[in-house]
Amino acid sequence: MILNISHVDKMGDRVNVGLSIGVARTFESNLFASTSVAFSVGKETGLWDNPIDYLSVNLEGGYKFKTGTFFVPFLAIGGSYINAPNTIANSKSSIAITPSAGFNMWFKNSSYGFTTKFGYKLVSNDYMETHKYLTIGIIKKF
């Protein structure tokens, strides 16, 4: 069944600004597991309007490449639960497969660093669009 629903109803405007909070655990083999929740926070920014309330719960696993420097690239694959869009009556939540790539960059002599990740969410139904995402943030080693 193909639904005739607009892109704006499924994803809002071209850019959704949100907040992502998560935790990750890296193992001695450089494999890692992480979980996070992402949600929209920017409704009207002056650059765009965003009518959708976005909520995604994510779980992924991946590999961090040993570089011997402060720069640590990684690849990951995971899954997401994406809440039904508030802009479509009687819509359903989606499940997504999420391949991604990024890097961590550690500040010198510190347990803090910077992280960024670019990914793609391949969704399971017609109520949400397959979409790209970019996260940036601050990380801390424990």
**Residue 2 resides in a domain:** no
Number of domains in the chain: 1
The radius of gyration of the chain's CA atoms, rounded to the nearest angstrom, is 17
Q: Which domain holds residue 52?
A: 7-140
pTM of the model: 0.82
CATH number of domain containing 77: 2.40.160.20
CA-based nearest residue to 114, from 139, 88, 83, 85: 139
Write the pLDDT tens digit of every residue in 71-107: 999 999 999 999 888 777 888 889 999 999 999 999 9
Residues in contact with 68: Cβ distance below 8 Å, sequence separation at least 6, in sequence order = none
Give the pLDDT confidence of 56-66 residue by residue, as tens digits.
999 999 999 99
* Residue 1 resides in a domain: no
